Amino acid sequence: MDRDQEFGEYMDARALVMLRTAYLLCGDWHRAEDIVQIALTKLYVVWPRVQRGGTVDAYVRKMLVRSAIDESRRGFLRRERAVPDPPDVSVPVATPDLDVRRALAALPLGQRTVVVLRYWEDLSVTEVARLLGRTEGTVKSQAAKGLATLRNLLGTPMFEERR
């Protein structure tokens, strides 16, 4: 199988998952698509190597995080943003997804990234620390603070720090 076919099949299988992770990282579907497109394009370039090494998912995850951080630091968030409040008509008030979105948006970028990697991507503290270039202590601390903030904002008792 050639590069295009293998890559295309991977993309078809994983695009939705990647998009959701990117969305949790950035909070906007259009930006999430941008981030995934960047990650996939980078992946295409190194496809033979990472596929041979069996590290495709890890590489993609790293690219998603880097792209999200880069975009954010380039003033991404200062550009036009999706309206956080629902319009007056046709959308029910305070749907659960909007609550989670708002709560995630309230987290500092570092905490948000750690929470997404740790609890959505199911990475261990060690894996998150390695991916972000931080210490395990920092990751634990940011995860705990992030969860505490989410717990407060969402008013849910289910957010307990996983050991």
Partner 1 sequence: MNDIKRVLATAFEAQPPVRLDRAQVIESGRRRLWRRRMAMAGGTVLAVAAIVTTTVFVGFRQPQQLQVGTPIVTGSGAQTPPPSSAGVAQRLTKVLAESRIVPAGITLQALPDSGDALQFQWERNRYEAAADLVNNQGDEGTLFVMVAESKANDARPTCAPPNTCVQREFGGRSVQLTTAPIGSRGEVLLMAHTKLPDGVQIYAMTSNVSVKAATQHGKGASSPTTPAHLLTLDQLGQITGLAGLKL
Q: Report the residue from 120, 126, 135, 137 that binds partner 1 according to the rule CB under 8 A.
A: 120
Q: Decide whether 46 or 54 has the Cβ nearer to partner 1.
A: 46
Structure tokens that stand for 21 in this block: 């992770």
Identified binder of partner 1 from the candidate list 95, 126, 135, 152, rule CB under 8 A: 95
Residue position matching structure tokens 């008509």: 89
Q: Which residues have a Cβ under 8 Å from the Cβ of 112 and sit 6 or more positions away? A: 24, 25, 104, 146
Single-letter amino acid code for the residue at 109: L
From candidates 81, 108, 124, 162, binder to partner 1 by CB under 8 A: 162
Q: Does 89 bind partner 1 (CB under 8 A)?
A: no
Distances (CA, A) of 96 to 21, 55, 72, 102, 119: 18, 35, 25, 10, 18
Out of 62, 106, 127, 145, the only residue in the binding site for partner 1 (CB under 8 A) is 62
CA distance 135 to 152: 26
In whole angstroms, the minimum distance from the beta carbon of 11 to partner 1 comes to 6
Give yes or no for residue 26 binding partner 1 (CB under 8 A). no
Q: Binding to partner 1 by residue 107, rule CB under 8 A?
A: no
Contact set for partner 1, span 128-147 (CB under 8 A) = 131-134, 147
Q: How far apart are CA 106 and CA 125, in angstroms?
A: 22
